[in-house]
Structure 1
Amino acid sequence: MRGFGVILILVLGCLLSASPMESWSEEPPAAPREFRAAWVATVENIDWPSKRGLSTADQKTEIDRILDVAADLNMNAIVLQVRTTADALYASELEPWSLYLTGTQGVAPAPYYDPLEYWVNAAHARGIELHAWFNPYRAQMKPGELADSHVSHTMPSSVIKYDRYLWMDPGNQQAAQHSLAVFNDVVRRYDIDGVHIDDYFYPYPVTQDGEKVPFPDDASWAQYQAGGGKLERDDWRRKNINDLIEQIYKTTHTIKPHVRFGISPFGIGRPGKAPGITGFDQYEELYADAALWLNEGWCDYFTPQLYWPIAQKAQSFPVLLDYWQSENTQSRYVWPGMYTSRVGDKNRGFEKQEIPDQIEVVRRRSEFPGHVHFSMKALLENREGLADTLKAGVYRSAALSPAMTWLDDSPPAAPKVKTEHTANGGRTLTLTPGDDEPVWLWGVWTRASDKWTFTTYPGPTPSIAVASSTTDWVVTAVDRCGNESSRVAGQ
């Protein structure tokens, strides 16, 4: 009888302990992989803060609500605009506080807090990536008072007035190096997951009396020529943008190799490059050679703004997506931007189903899909029930961001999992990293009634509760670049 007791203890010990997945006979599928993000625009208070001059407490409340909605929708990233017009929505010694926070440029929130630090910590506490979104060159949107520390005062020769805007001259090396320093400063001081830039390179052209107004960069062009430059003026302008983008990519990874760099250009590369596509030519008008950046691998993810519906032939969403994928010679990730805020728009509205349909288009065309909504406001407002539709459909399961193996291809060690029974018949899984590398996320599969369910938990989560209805569980550790450890399983 005593020998039987020993055998029973050994059998129970095997059932309750964690084992590598290789020994597990009924595996769950691979973890779903998809980048699911939304832009949070701060310019003109589009998304956050909802208006200028909100109290610190109200600003934090709005941050938490945005992140709670994102987490509830099983989204895994937020792209937060932290520099709109050579300003800062964070504590900076290089540029003044943004007027979109307090209503006055150069004035910090009171009581004092650092918004970007709060955003990063709050996002990470929910297992959500936080990408810092910068405008590289725009310096002022509307006439008004500028702080003494604004570039228009500290580097006046680098700033140009074009139409009603102030613009940092991309051909001015002081301006370019200043913007690069701003990006690098944020990468060094904040635990962000990505650096992101939008489509404002040289400004969108304006016309007067039916004629295009030239960008007034005669001074920097003359300086380039005086230094022996041989390029034609348009090619020189494109080179100015190319040089900055290459530098952002390289310096970001030199400072922190795991921080991703994403670019969000205008959605059409060049008219005629894709079958039947017509429209604005960013190569000629913005001096943005976006296909080159993708060809050269100067980004980790590429988010062309495909802001048209699937059925719009002249700017077809799937045709443009196929075009950009064809330019993806370095196998980076092409995760298009979608104009989600058009849902519910009376003048330019999308049908609600357009958004999940576009997500499915991307999934069918990519092994590692992803997308970014413009903007978070439409999801916060649940326009026409869109958020509910996404949650019940394409977002019904959690997903990991696709791994960026060109940055890091070493998976973390398998986690250590301790199992304890609870009084209600469930179990508590205590999770510990398998080595010294911090865990970004825990990927957890549970099975009940022969159905596997996938969930993610932030790395600092010490333990998770498993319901009594769960028959089996599987846990993996995920690092900052999305690499997943070998599986640990139990009952």
Structure 2
Amino acid sequence: MNNNCKLCELRGVWISTVYEIDWPKTQNDIHAQKQEFIEILDTLQSLNFNSVFVQIRPTSDTFYKSYINPWSKYLTGTQGKSPGYDPLKFMIKETHRRNMEFHAWLNPYRITTSGTDLNKLYKAHPARLNPSWALSYDNALFYNPENPEVIRYIATTVFEIVKNYYIDGIHFDDYFYPYNYPLPQGEDRDGVIANNRREAVNNMIRLVNKAIKSTRECVQFGVSPFGVWKNKSSDPNGSDTNNLESYYDVYADSLKWIEEGIIDYIAPQIYWTIDNKISAYETSVKWWNNVVKDTGVRLYIGQNISNVDIAKEIEKQVNINRTYSEVEGSIFFSMSNIKENTGNVIKQLKEVYSCKEYND
């Protein structure tokens, strides 16, 4: 066994469907879409990966058969149009055939990536049926996190997936409130309105966790927040960084989720190089390592190989991860960069993942 290997570590990759980043590259072609996904899995299997995180609900539309949300436009070009098969069922089957985990990745609040006209959504889209749920910001729409009906809708969406599909996990990324969503004039970032926003997001996480565990307890629930909770300049408990802060910039209090044990794992997006001046890579890893210690919440590190400078040093980053006791693996963004061999990443991944003794 390669001495650099770490037993039982998670080796994951994000497979994005929004903007057609990773999959599918073709529309209205069942065979081509299936073949694309099989090739992705075969590539990952050859590199000894053991997990995929596939975006199955990118804009409140789906890659699975749903009675709540419409079919995704990224399958056919038209939101609400059936692709003629169940992509999620197919993907789970092919992933499990290779003894890999399948995590269903959802963005909880996003309705559109651009455009604010609800009438352009599919006629039975939840946001079009419930316009009071939607907020507009920066030429896009998102669900209002403070609306109790929105919280129930998100939890029901997750319940439907967990009930009907044998997934290994439900996964949320870093989008909660839009980045830098403004407070009303005169309001403080630690004031009542800001705190209400954070608590609304907390309540959504709590209810989603309850929906998962009461339906299929073995399904994992994890979130991949921005890599900084708070800077030390804002809070003595924060990290020694000088960056955006998820607590303030998207109203995501990830430490609360860890303290309450309402997530199974956290995968902070530590999307920086080792020598980054405002958020040094190892400084951030060490902070998160200390945060999860003795909590029972597992820690994976999100790493951005779409950045060529990061991709060039990914072997070093993984080996840094392995020196910290609480770090149990990595998730890489994204699959296209493995296929394109950004920064010679394939050779490095072959080296760090040369052993197979990780999922026994």
2:212 corresponds in structure 1 to: 252
Deviation per CA, 1:121-154: give whole Å up to 9, x if none: 0000011100000101111112373101112211
Deviation per CA, 1:13-32: give whole Å up to 9, x if none: xxxxxxxxxxxxxxxxx992
Deviation per CA, 1:236-282: give whole Å up to 9, x if none: 11110001111212221111111111110010010114553101122
Match of 2:135 among 118, 138, 160: 160
1:113 corresponds in structure 2 to: 85
Q: Where in structure 1 do 4 or more consecutive aligned residues deviate above 3 Å?
A: 213-216, 273-276
Matched, 1:48 2:23: yes
Matched, 1:135 2:75: no
Counterpart-to-counterpart distance in 1, 2:173 and 2:311: 26
SS at match of 1:81: strand
1:381 corresponds in structure 2 to: 340
The 8 Å contact of residues 296 and 330 in structure 1, kept in 2 or not, is answered as no
The 8 Å contact of residues 10 and 330 in structure 2, kept in 1 or not, is answered as yes
SS at match of 2:222: strand
SS at match of 2:56: strand
Matched, 1:32 2:7: yes
The size of the alignment, in residue pairs, is 343
**Distance verdict in 2 for CA 1:309–1:151, change over 3 Å:** same
SS at match of 1:356: helix
Counterpart-to-counterpart distance in 1, 2:136 and 2:239: 38
2:173 corresponds in structure 1 to: 198
Matched, 1:269 2:248: no
SS at match of 1:82: strand
SS at match of 2:24: coil
Which protein is richer in strand relative to its size? 1
| Amino acid paired to 1:70 | L
Match of 1:333 among 280, 298, 322: 298
Counterpart-to-counterpart distance in 2, 1:32 and 1:326: 21
The 8 Å contact of residues 314 and 348 in structure 2, kept in 1 or not, is answered as no
The 8 Å contact of residues 37 and 372 in structure 1, kept in 2 or not, is answered as yes
SS at match of 1:137: coil
| Amino acid paired to 1:324 | W
Match of 1:362 among 294, 308, 321: 321
Deviation at 1:54, TM superposition (A): 4.4
The 8 Å contact of residues 162 and 212 in structure 2, kept in 1 or not, is answered as yes
Counterpart-to-counterpart distance in 2, 1:386 and 1:233: 44
TM-score, normalising length: structure 2: 0.91
SS at match of 1:335: strand
Runs of 5+ consecutive residues of structure 2 not aligned to the other structure:
186-190
The 8 Å contact of residues 114 and 139 in structure 2, kept in 1 or not, is answered as yes
**Mapping 1:61-460, distance limit 5 Å:** 61-109=35-83, 112-143=84-115, 145-205=120-180, 213-214=182-183, 232-272=192-232, 273-274=237-238, 276-328=240-292, 329-343=294-308, 349-350=309-310, 352=312, 354-366=313-325, 369-391=328-350, 393-401=351-359, 443=360
Counterpart-to-counterpart distance in 2, 1:287 and 1:48: 30
| Amino acid paired to 1:304 | P
The 8 Å contact of residues 300 and 331 in structure 2, kept in 1 or not, is answered as yes
Which protein is richer in helix relative to its size? 2
| Amino acid paired to 1:132 | A
SS at match of 1:246: helix
Deviation at 1:368, TM superposition (A): 5.5
Counterpart-to-counterpart distance in 2, 1:215 and 1:156: 22
The 8 Å contact of residues 304 and 334 in structure 2, kept in 1 or not, is answered as yes
Deviation at 1:116, TM superposition (A): 0.4
**Distance verdict in 2 for CA 1:366–1:31, change over 3 Å:** closer
Larger radius of gyration: 1
| Amino acid paired to 1:176 | I
| Amino acid paired to 1:300 | D
The 8 Å contact of residues 295 and 327 in structure 1, kept in 2 or not, is answered as no
The 8 Å contact of residues 142 and 164 in structure 1, kept in 2 or not, is answered as yes
The 8 Å contact of residues 205 and 285 in structure 1, kept in 2 or not, is answered as yes
SS at match of 2:102: strand
Tell me the C-alpha RMSD between the 2 structures.
1.9
**Distance verdict in 2 for CA 1:316–1:124, change over 3 Å:** same
**Mapping 1:3-14, distance limit 5 Å:** none
SS at match of 1:138: coil
Counterpart-to-counterpart distance in 2, 1:35 and 1:275: 24
SS at match of 1:152: helix
TM-score, normalising length: structure 1: 0.67
Deviation at 1:304, TM superposition (A): 0.3
- Matched-pair identity in %: 35
